[in-house]
Amino acid sequence: MTHSLYSKKHATNNNLSAIKTLSVAMLAILALSTTACQSFKKSENTNLPKELVALSQTQNSLNLLFSQDKQSVKKFGFNKKQALSQSVTSFQTVSDSKGYITASPDGLVTAFDMDGHKLWQVEFKQGLYSGVAIDNHLKTADVVIVADRHANLIALDRSNGKTLWQHQMTSNVLAPVLIRDNRIVVLANNGNIQGLSLQTGEVGWENGIKNPDLSVRGNAMPMLLYSEIVLIGGADGKIHAFNPDNGLDLWSQPVGMRMGVSETERLMDMDATPIFVDNMLYLIAYSGQLLAIDMTSGEIAFTKQLAGLKSLAADSNQLYVTTLDGQVLALDKLTGNENWQSESLKFRGLSNPVATPNSVIVGDKLGYLHVFDKTTGKIIDRKQTKVDINHLTLQNIDQDSRLIVQSMNGGFSVWQVVR
């Protein structure tokens, strides 16, 4: 049973029609072969991270502005003697017109100005499991949300870091929450979903997803679609749609498929947040399915046999993918046809890709940023950092583009993107 705290909105007829068509279309999807995914699982202990080849010619694509990195790659435990795969993202540095806010597992939440100077810092001795979330539709956020190791959501004042409220969840929260229009949608690790008031933390509604007994430890950040639908990827291999105002189920359909014999091979989590570009919804599952859905018609545009834990990137023509075993691919955004593929970073534990006007940038766990030419798929620049690279965010400020580079322990650096 759900209880509404907010006024109810209604999806447009066109959107609801597309959703109904989508539900029918997705029921007809056959399980895809996951040979590539299973091959990685079986060989990940014998394949070493690919050695980097020296670049004969480079373009200066990135300039370091400042770094707040906290720990070296060596100290964090990554090395070239073991295959590295992708990791689920728990911490993301966020930005607004005042600067940056970051959080770390040891319990520190820190705000910096645009030049990397510390504004304030607070510490939660119990440690943190995820963050940071702000309302990205505002130029300057009022509230910052993080989650601690005791299953508490904590709301902080953006201006000084003081605690505004806390809310106890039924299980730990392993992904940043979704904030929009004075409401929060949060997914707990046990599948519990709640809609809260941003200002008070009061529960407006509650729902849930039935999780399997075994899953990848991590969750995708909830995503807002058409301002009236919340999409949540589940450990059950499904994409779930909810009404953000009252928590009612709209639809849920399978994306990941159970394949293989062992429990590990049969994992089908959706831990990568879907992306929505030009009315196309793109999703990728751990078990080896990438789906593109035309939301104007609700029809499946294409499917690919690719496995990943990281969100995709897209521009006007291409879709960019990094896989569990370290492939980087550029696909035609409408057909899924492969334009280029690179295996030069195999088993290096890749971050999500980000697309700039002229390039695609990917990071790895051994501390390198790799810049690919969008057209050819060739690496045209490489930068070395002192930390593992887990997540990338592209920040656009007027005509200026910055790359936020996130490590697993909450450290980050900011780079100027050279056009």
Per-residue confidence (pLDDT) for residue 220, from 0 to 100: 78
Q: Which of 296, 310, 321, 142 is nearest to 225 (CA)?
A: 296
Per-residue confidence (pLDDT) for residue 212, from 0 to 100: 53
Higher pLDDT pick, 18 / 340: 340
If pLDDT is split at 50, 70 and 90, which confidence band does 27 have?
very low
- State the chain's mean pLDDT as an integer: 83
Amino acid identity of residue 63, one-letter, is N
Per-residue confidence (pLDDT) for residue 266, from 0 to 100: 36
Q: What value does the mean pLDDT take over residues 200-224?
A: 77
If pLDDT is split at 50, 70 and 90, which confidence band does 66 have?
very high
- Please state, in angstroms and rounded to a whole number, the distance separating the CA atoms of residues 234 and 324: 18
Q: What value does the mean pLDDT take over residues 62-71?
A: 88
Q: Is 15 helix (H, G, I), strand (E, B) or coil?
A: helix
Q: Contact, 325 vs 34, CB < 8 A?
A: no
pLDDT digits (tens, 9 = 90+) for 233-270: 877 777 889 999 999 999 877 764 444 443 433 334 56
pLDDT digits (tens, 9 = 90+) for 87-127: 777 899 999 989 999 999 999 999 999 999 999 999 999 99
Per-residue confidence (pLDDT) for residue 38, from 0 to 100: 39
Confidence check: pLDDT of 342 > 60: yes
If pLDDT is split at 50, 70 and 90, which confidence band does 203 have?
very high
- Please state, in angstroms and rounded to a whole number, the distance separating the CA atoms of residues 237 and 196: 25
Higher pLDDT pick, 234 / 13: 234
The separation between CA 73 and the C-alpha centre of its own chain, rounded to angstroms, equals 22
According to DSSP, the residues that pair with 381 across neighbouring strands are 371
Higher pLDDT pick, 330 / 255: 330
Rounding to the nearest 10 degrees, give the CA dihedral for residues 285, 291, 296, 297.
Answer: -120
Domains present along the chain, CATH in parentheses = 62-73+88-221+277-283+293-417 (2.130.10.10)
Q: How many degrees, rounded to 5, is the angle at CA 272 between CA 146 and CA 290? A: 170
pLDDT digits (tens, 9 = 90+) for 273-313: 889 999 999 988 776 789 898 888 878 899 999 988 899 99
Which of these ranges, 2-16, 107-121, 223-237, has the smallest mean pLDDT?
A: 2-16
Confidence check: pLDDT of 30 > 50: no
Which of these ranges, 86-95, 146-155, 323-332, has the smallest mean pLDDT?
A: 86-95
* Residue 375: both structure tokens together: 């057209």
Q: What value does the mean pLDDT take over residues 316-344?
A: 97
Q: Which of 327, 324, 398, 393 is nearest to 355 (CA)?
A: 393
- Please state, in angstroms and rounded to a whole number, the distance separating the CA atoms of residues 19 and 370: 38
- Count of residues for the chain? 419
Q: What value does the mean pLDDT take over residues 301-327?
A: 94
Q: How many CB atoms lie within 10 A of CB 147?
A: 27
Confidence check: pLDDT of 197 > 50: yes
Q: What is residue 236's DSSP assignment?
A: T
- Please state, in angstroms and rounded to a whole number, the distance separating the CA atoms of residues 112 and 258: 44
